[in-house]
Amino acid sequence: MKKLIASIVPLALAAIIGVGPAVASEEEGGTPHYPIHHPKEQSWSFAGPFGTFDKGQLQRGLKVYVEVCSACHSMNLVAFRTLGALGYSEDQVKSFAANYEVEDGPNADGDMFTRTAVPSDYFPAPFPNEEAAAASNGGAAPPDFSLLAKARYVERGFPQFIFDIFTGYNESGPNYIYSLLTGYEEAPHGHEVAEGTYYNPYFLGSAALAMAKPIDDGAVTYDDGSPETLDQYSHDVAAFMMWAAEPHMEDRKRTGFMVILFLAIFSSLMYLTKKAVYANKDH
């Protein structure tokens, strides 16, 4: 019984404080849980109940996506017209969309055809279908970027998740994306990595993934003078992906604040009304 308790306590403590889940399991000879390292918490302009998107950062993130990520990852749910929210004019959006060709049809003869994209179109996928995407990427189709920043949510464990309820913590996905992009490293001594995979202790699925390190310093040229480093690229594209997943976040936060303010004023008025009505009542 003592041995059983001694084996359970370290795992329980690891689960409670949210630290090193995979390491704790490996030390006990069990099946490891991933990610091995929890995502690195970063500072985001959109964090908190009053956070807003940095349009300059979103524009840089779009540039990283277009020049690097779009070669493999689709963004099927994002229309070109929504790029106006990033600070682009209508003419700039039209010009940007014109760089792409999309499939349309059928025409009068019943055939599909390609045409120059317009703002109402959506970002075209780099592959014609999921099977083709999988065949070109080692058997697994790269995930679509549209909602990835919301889908890749990593629980922070106790006691952080309690505070997250009250603070509206919404940055787990961007933290994960940033950590994954900056987390590639050599596998530790004695740790075997399957051929064709790359060690990354921040990956949710296992200790290694099939995607090689996609970007490094100097890969993308910025026009605004921002640092052209892996750290900056990772911040920018993670923020852009958060916008793609929730483009109306700022409106939602403003609406939520107004609702809470209304409820606070309404509750105060109701209390004062009740107090006035019953002030002269005989007890």
* Helix H or strand E encompassing 133: helix 130-135
* Helix H or strand E encompassing 103: strand 101-104
| Alpha carbon distance 261, 98 (integer Å) | 44
Write down the pLDDT at residue 19: 42
Three-state DSSP at 199 gives strand
Domain spans in the chain, listed from the N-terminal domain onward: 1-33, 41-75+140-245
Write down the pLDDT at residue 48: 86
| Alpha carbon distance 84, 93 (integer Å) | 7
Query: What phi and psi, each to the nearest 5 degrees, are found at residue 115?
Result: -145, 165
101-104 and 113-116 beta bridge pairing: antiparallel
Write down the pLDDT at residue 76: 95
| Alpha carbon distance 277, 281 (integer Å) | 8
Listed as ranges, residues in the chain with pLDDT below 70 are 1-31, 282-283
Q: CATH number for the 41-75+140-245 domain, one of 1.10.1270.20, 3.20.20.70, 3.30.70.20, 1.10.760.10? A: 1.10.760.10
Three-state DSSP at 111 gives coil
| Alpha carbon distance 241, 100 (integer Å) | 20
Q: What is the pLDDT of residues 250-278, one digit of tens each?
A: 999 999 989 999 999 999 999 999 888 88
Q: What is the pLDDT of residues 113-151, one digit of tens each?
A: 999 999 999 999 999 999 999 999 888 899 999 999 999
Residues 6+ apart with CB under 8 A from 65: 73, 75, 145, 237, 240, 241
Write down the pLDDT at residue 25: 45
For residue 111 the two structure tokens come to 């055939």
Residues 6+ apart with CB under 8 A from 77: 122, 144, 146, 147, 244
